[in-house]
Amino acid sequence: MRLTGRNEPLNAQEPPHAGKMKQSHRQNITYIACLLVILTIVGIWIYLYNNQDCSVGITGTAASVEFHGPRAGWACDATVTGSQGNNGSTVSFYHETGTPEGSEICSGKWGDLTYTVRDSGLFDLVGKAECTWFANNGASP
């Protein structure tokens, strides 16, 4: 290759493999971008799965139970569709909307979930009974 007086190549041509290198480089960038998008989607899904919240109220009382963690929505659904109370009678639960109210009576871990029992009744009797239920059913403070 001859150079002109201005240090520029005369008849500058790319090597024959340069086009393939550019195409391969573009493919690598595309693969990396796709991988980043997939990892972002998976990360968001994991975050949302592990950070679910829901609350159930106990019909006719001022008590409620909040669940936080993976499958919290399932825990609320299962609680509402039918659970047994501490004395063997069926207690009626409902899905709460909005922010739960009342003083925190107890909280802890129940499997993969974190639970918080709140009650704003006069003596917090129902809330304390729920705390006893969790303590008797494998919950840890």
Task: For 47-104, write each residue's pLDDT tens digit.
Answer: 767 778 999 999 889 999 999 988 888 889 888 887 555 555 567 889 998 888 899 9
Task: For 116-139, write each residue's pLDDT tens digit.
Answer: 999 998 888 999 999 998 998 877
pTM for this entry: 0.64
Helix (H, G, I), strand (E, B) or coil at 94: strand
